[in-house]
Amino acid sequence: MEKLLLLGAEAIAQGAIDGGMSGVYAYPGTPSTEITEYVQNNKIAIERNIHRQWSANEKTAVEAALGMSYAGKRAMACMKHVGLNVAADPFINSAITGVNGGLVITVADDPSMHSSQNEQDSRFYGKFAMIPMLEPSNQQEAYDMAYESFEISEQFKVPVLIRITTRLSHSRSGITRKELKSENPLTYPEDPIQFVLLPSNARKRYKGLLGIQSAIEEAAEKSEYNKYIEGKDKSLGIIACGIAFNYLMENYPDNNCPHPILKIGQYPMPYSLLDKIVSECEKILVLEDGYPFVEEQIKGYFDKSGKITGRLSGAIPRDGELNPDVVGKALGKEIKQYFKVPEIIANRPPELCSGCAHRDIYNALNETMKEFGKQKVFSDIGCYTLGALPPWNAINSCVDMGASITMAKGAADAGVRPSVAVIGDSTFTHSGMTALLDCVYENTPVTIIIADNATTAMTGGQTSPATGRLEEICIGLGVKPEHVRVLTPLPKFHEEMVKVIREELLYEGVSVIIPRRECIQTATRSKKEQKVKTEEVAQ
Amino acid sequence: MKADIILSGVGGQGIVSIAATIAQAALDNDLFIKQSEVHGMSQRGGAVYSHLRISDKPIASDLIPMGSADIIISVEPMESLRYLPWLKEEGWLVTNSIPFINIPDYPDLNLLHSEIEKFPNHILINADEIARQVKSPRSSNIVMLGAASPFLEISLENFEQAIKKIFGRKGERIVELNIQALHAGREFSLTHKEIK
Ligand SMILES: Cc1ncc(C[n+]2csc(CCOP(=O)(O)OP(=O)(O)O)c2C)c(N)n1
Ligand code: SF4
């Protein structure tokens, strides 16, 4: 079959399509976004009309995917690691309800925090939910695992978690496809109360989940993704999870590693293979991209022998992603470096595009806030978070999606006046609406600026469900129509913006200001696409 | 055959197209490829890089180990120096000479150029001007690909084919302009690489 050059994220998408997926549900988030984008543009997905529109957030995504699984079809929900915090409730409970059609949750972790607030490791969630977990080491495995994951889910009747990290997600390699499977027919669960988690039924279902644990452990033992590779020199045994295996092999170019290796790609951890390597070898080095998930478990609480090494022992740095050099160093290899970075090299941090509407918003807000004092602006996650950097230094928080409004509320409750929130349109519909309702419910004096650029810009310009309906949402939630103010963020309207912001800052109640102008990047892109289209028509 | 390539520049300067073209050419040659790139936060006018590895044997790591890149191809002079720890001792530094200045503390350009000129194996090329000369001002990235091409074991025809595949959707004229940009960049390196 044909060989495709795909990002790890795209390989997962192609594997899921070929594996008979009927729907992908996701909210964008680096480094997971490309999975859904690939499905959106894929020919088979379009022909089959596979569900591929964005969800409002990760929780709604997992729930919708669970609904599709209820109806017997194969569904995948995708998100970045912190998205799984948002979706944790349906995620954990879907292990108790179990599935009908195969259900797969794909989570992309971001060790080193290239584009994230933390570097949490999703494998803990998989263990917490007590479900099978897959962690590919390369693009081909990413494809194969996604392809097979629905069957594993249907075999054990529970969801399956696929965990990848940034480097695999954003690295391209050739993959070979498998045969395209047909989609599942629509069927209802055999047991009509399978999904009813009333305590009496939940207890029963939970016992069922406990009951299959030995079977999913056995499956991991036998999995082709967990491999014991013999080695003569047993002074050291190496356990390599997921992509760490590649960094290990990079240090032994001709596959000539003298030590036994246990490559892990499927969890729960393969107990007897671990037992074999730990008892055979004098010392163990655990290589895993993320937290010391395996190391901590095999070391246990009381082992002070120093036999198990990795991130906890200091053999590998405790934080940050792995790479061939970090791994090489832990193996005692010499790191080559011939040139240093010259001292004159300056940092080049990301910045708001020139002409971006967020610039005009912060210019107006900063001028207005001069009169009201510092440290009163709570913000959120998106391009506008760059307002935390010079020259604006305009915001004082960025914690999790939606937190700007609720933190502004809490601060207002504590007496901060004025208390301001700056949030993007997509972040607002992701998690800001319930926060706004809290404010309306108590008529808390907060001024909420929803920076509406008609897109989810930070992650590359996906559509935003807020587009065209922000005023209605705010008024519908109970904000007084005269305190919903729409502005056009352009330098020529600076004075007017300052005036309106000032009026609302002085109002002792909930007000929403919506500066509205399309993101420069998406505007230019749609112009270009329009041009290509008209040229194609003309030809 | 094995080539470890680092591509660098500023978000939006088109290093992804260079990477895609080399990867396509390598794929057409039945070579193994791994190409890791940066998405997300740093794309907004920040420093971006890509690790591109091609080989006739399977490749293990998506990232290039330090001190082992055969070549750094940069569309911006300061960015070319940021990844020096990855360059091997006899590796090539091939960079555009025209800066992209979007920070207040951008270093003195003459100092930057002299840092680059310290390398025996360097090509410092005004890709913007060459792109204008071939009447394709937006193709300075492909000029850079051309400038790097003599150092890669991939034939000129393979690169041309790859450009046709990658830019085909944008029409014949764009393909033609990019092929001219490729040739012009290559020509520059062929005439300058012996002069040290
Ligand atoms: C729970 C969670 N999901 C997803 C993300 C990734 N993410 C960060 S900002 C953002 C979108 C921001 O869009 P918007 O609020 O419209 O602001 P813009 O970037 O357009 O200015 C996304 C999807 C995240 N950080 N956390
Ligand atoms: S991508 Fe859009 S929203 Fe983000 S900084 Fe650029 S113009 Fe502004």
In this prediction the pTM is: 0.96
How many Cα atoms are found within 13 Å in the side-chain-facing hemisphere of B98? Answer: 12
**Domain assignment of residue A388, yes or no:** yes
Give the 3-state secondary structure of residue A6: strand
**Domain assignment of residue A186, yes or no:** yes
Cα of B106 vs its chain's centroid, Å: 22
Task: Say if residue A537's pLDDT is above 90.
Answer: no
Who among B34, B42, B87 is closest to A171 (CB)? Answer: B34
Q: Which two tokens stand for residue A262?
A: 């246990």
Distance CA(A321)–CA(A289), nearest Å, equals 6
Indicate yes or no: CB of B65 within 8 angstroms of CB of A325: yes
Task: Say if residue A107's pLDDT is above 90.
Answer: yes
Instruction: Specify the amino acid at residue A182.
Output: S
Token pair 């290796």 in the structure block, residue:
A261
**Domain assignment of residue A391, yes or no:** yes
CATH value at residue A244 = 3.40.50
Under the banding of pLDDT at 50, 70 and 90, the label for residue A2 is: low
- CB proximity under 8 Å: A 380-399 to B: 383, 386
**Domain assignment of residue A66, yes or no:** yes
Task: Say if residue B132's pLDDT is above 90.
Answer: yes
Q: What order do you get walking across the sheet with B2-10 strand by strand? A: A3-7, A171-176, B32-37, B47-55, B2-10, B69-74, B87-96, B122-125
Residue A519 Cα to ligand 2 middle (Å): 5
A171-176 vs A3-7, strand pairing mode:
antiparallel
Residues of B in contact with A335 (CB under 8 A): 65-67
Give the 3-state secondary structure of residue A161: strand
With beta carbons less than 8 A apart as the criterion, state whether B35 and B6 touch.
no
Indicate yes or no: CB of A170 within 8 angstroms of CB of B39: yes
Compute the Cα dihedral for A352, A354, A355, A360 and give only its sign. positive
- Kindly state whether residues A361 and A324 are assigned to the same domain: no
Provide the domain count of chain A: 3
CATH architecture of structural domain B2-195:
3-Layer(aba) Sandwich (3.40)
Residues of B in contact with A532 (CB under 8 A): 169-170
Q: Which two tokens stand for residue B4?
A: 């470890």
Compute the Cα dihedral for A6, A7, A13, A16 and give only its sign. positive
Q: What pLDDT was estimated at residue A428?
A: 98
Segment A288-297 mean pLDDT: 98
Q: How many helices (H) and strands (E) does chain A have?
A: 22, 18
Q: What pLDDT was estimated at residue A538?
A: 57
Who among B33, B63, B102 is closest to A323 (CB)? Answer: B63
Owning domain of residue A263: 227-330
**Domain assignment of residue A127, yes or no:** yes
Distance CA(B132)–CA(B136), nearest Å, equals 5
Instruction: Specify the amino acid at residue B100.
Output: F
- Please state the length of chain B: 196
- CB proximity under 8 Å: B 124-153 to A: none
- Kindly state whether residues A202 and A249 are assigned to the same domain: no
Q: Is B41 on the interface with A (CB under 8 A)?
A: yes
Q: What pLDDT was estimated at residue B43?
A: 67
- Kindly state whether residues A363 and A321 are assigned to the same domain: no
**Range of weakest confidence among A44-58, A398-412, B7-21, B173-187:** B7-21
Who among A328, A336, A342 is closest to B115 (CB)? Answer: A342
Q: What pLDDT was estimated at residue A241?
A: 98
Indicate yes or no: CB of B38 within 8 angstroms of CB of A352: no
**Domain assignment of residue A132, yes or no:** yes
Residues of B in contact with A170 (CB under 8 A): 36-39
Indicate yes or no: CB of B60 within 8 angstroms of CB of A171: no
pLDDT tens digits, A328-384: 999 999 999 999 999 999 999 888 999 999 999 999 999 999 999 999 999 999 999
Distance CA(A504)–CA(A447), nearest Å, equals 7
- Give, in order, the Cα–Cα distances in Å from B167 to each of A460, A485, B180: 21, 45, 13
Segment A481-486 mean pLDDT: 98
- Kindly state whether residues A472 and A325 are assigned to the same domain: no
Distance CA(B46)–CA(A389), nearest Å, equals 13
With beta carbons less than 8 A apart as the criterion, state whether A273 and A262 touch.
yes
B69-74 vs B2-10, strand pairing mode:
parallel
* Ligand 2 neighbourhood includes A519 CB (under 6 angstroms): yes
| Residue of minimum CA distance from atom 2 in ligand 2 | A519
Q: What pLDDT was estimated at residue A152?
A: 98
First to last CA, chain B: 26
Under the banding of pLDDT at 50, 70 and 90, the label for residue B42 is: low
Token pair 């040229």 in the structure block, residue:
A535
pLDDT tens digits, B12-38: 888 988 998 999 999 889 899 999 988
pLDDT tens digits, A150-186: 999 999 999 999 999 999 999 999 999 999 999 999 9
- Kindly state whether residues A314 and A385 are assigned to the same domain: no
Write down the ipTM of this complex.
0.93
- Please state the length of chain A: 539
Question: What is the biggest distance separating any 2 CA atoms in chain A, rounded to whole angstroms?
Answer: 78
Q: What pLDDT was estimated at residue B175?
A: 95
B87-96 vs A237-241, strand pairing mode:
unpaired
Indicate yes or no: CB of B40 within 8 angstroms of CB of A174: no
Q: Extract the runs of DSSP E, i.e. beta strands, from A402-479.
A: 420-424, 446-451
Distance CA(B92)–CA(B121), nearest Å, equals 5
Give the 3-state secondary structure of residue A74: strand
Under the banding of pLDDT at 50, 70 and 90, the label for residue A530 is: confident
Return the best residue to mutate from A30, A33, A353 for the ligand 2 pocket (most ligand atoms within 8 A of CB): A353
Distance CA(A28)–CA(A9), nearest Å, equals 12
Interface test with B, best of A172, A254, A322 (most B CBs within 10 A): A172
- Kindly state whether residues A502 and A384 are assigned to the same domain: yes
Distance (Å) from the C-alpha of residue B41 to the closest C-alpha of chain A? 5
Who among B40, B46, B108 is closest to A31 (CB)? Answer: B40
How many other C-beta atoms lie within 10 A of the C-beta of residue B112? 23
Q: What pLDDT was estimated at residue A528?
A: 80
- Kindly state whether residues A244 and A367 are assigned to the same domain: no
Return the best residue to mutate from A120, A361, A401 for the ligand 1 pocket (most ligand atoms within 8 A of CB): A401
Task: List, as one string, the DSSP characters of A268-297.
Answer: S--HHHHHHHHHH-S-EEEE-SSS-HHHHH
Share of chain A above pLDDT 70, in %: 98
- Kindly state whether residues A207 and A232 are assigned to the same domain: no
Task: List, as one string, the DSSP characters of B20-81.
Answer: HHHHHHHHHTT-EEEEEE--SGGGTTSEEEEEEEEESS----SSPPTT-EEEEEESSHHHHH
Q: What pLDDT was estimated at residue A191?
A: 97
Who among A174, A247, A353 is closest to B61 (CB)? Answer: A247
Cα of B103 vs its chain's centroid, Å: 23
**Domain assignment of residue A379, yes or no:** yes
Segment A20-33 mean pLDDT: 98
Task: Say if residue B196's pLDDT is above 70.
Answer: no
**Domain assignment of residue A220, yes or no:** no
- Kindly state whether residues A187 and A51 are assigned to the same domain: yes
With beta carbons less than 8 A apart as the criterion, state whether A107 and A133 touch.
no
Distance (Å) from the C-alpha of residue A386 to the closest C-alpha of chain B? 10
pLDDT tens digits, A58-93: 999 999 999 999 999 999 999 999 999 999 999 999
Q: What pLDDT was estimated at residue B39?
A: 81
Return the best residue to mutate from A30, A115, A358, A526 for the ligand 2 pocket (most ligand atoms within 8 A of CB): A358
Residues of A in contact with B23 (CB under 8 A): 5, 172
Residues of B in contact with A115 (CB under 8 A): 39-42
B32-37 vs A171-176, strand pairing mode:
antiparallel
Domain end position, chosen among A313, A330, A347: A330
Segment A468-488 mean pLDDT: 98
Interface test with B, best of A35, A348, A381, A525 (most B CBs within 10 A): A348
Task: Say if residue B195's pLDDT is above 70.
Answer: no
